[in-house]
Amino acid sequence: MRALIQRVTRASVTVDGDTIGAIDHGLLILVCAMQGDTPAQSAKLAAKISKLRVFQDDGGKMNLSLKDTGGAALIVSQFTLASDTSRGNRPGFSAAASPADGRALYEQFITDVSALDIPVQTGQFGADMAVDLCNDGPVTLWLDV
């Protein structure tokens, strides 16, 4: 699985003009299931993200994790993270999991993060979403598991 995480002071996702998920301090997690991904990879990615020390301690160093700070996660599916831009000018997405597998792994990832006692808000799988955020730092990290 692949994720792009952004440390945020706030983030929200809107579908058809309605806000369906919003957090304050925490992580916006854009997640993509790739072909061949398994539920075990979802659990591994959730555990990794929950423990990443990307929040500042009292000394200003990135020493605290999402779990340490009590922050929340806004999890949004984004199959375009599977893009291949190595040929031509149109991205290819053949490395992404099928829609059915992608949905199942997205829902599994939400379950896995929630099971770590992290408050979770979500986007809507397959929807045309508007994501609004205030990147804190900015801190943005790419993860593959």
pLDDT by residue (tens digit) across 104-126? 999 999 999 999 999 999 999 99
User: Is 79 a known active-site residue?
Assistant: yes
Q: Residues 9, 19, 38, 80: which is the catalytic one?
A: 80
Q: Could you give the CA distance from residue 68 to residue 64 in angstroms, rounded to a whole number?
A: 6
**Strand 72-77 relative to strand 120-122: parallel, antiparallel, unpaired?**
parallel
User: Is 14 a known active-site residue?
Assistant: no
Q: Could you give the CA distance from residue 105 to residue 22 in angstroms, rounded to a whole number?
A: 21
- The per-residue pLDDT for 58 is 96
pLDDT by residue (tens digit) across 57-66? 999 999 999 9
Fold that domain 2-144 belongs to in CATH: D-tyrosyl-trna(Tyr) Deacylase; Chain: A; (3.50.80)
Residue extents of the structural domains in the chain: 2-144
Q: Could you give the CA distance from residue 25 to residue 134 in angstroms, rounded to a whole number?
A: 10
Q: Residues 79, 109, 121, 122: which is the catalytic one?
A: 79
Residue 86: which pLDDT band, with cuts at 50, 70 and 90? very high
User: Is 80 a known active-site residue?
Assistant: yes
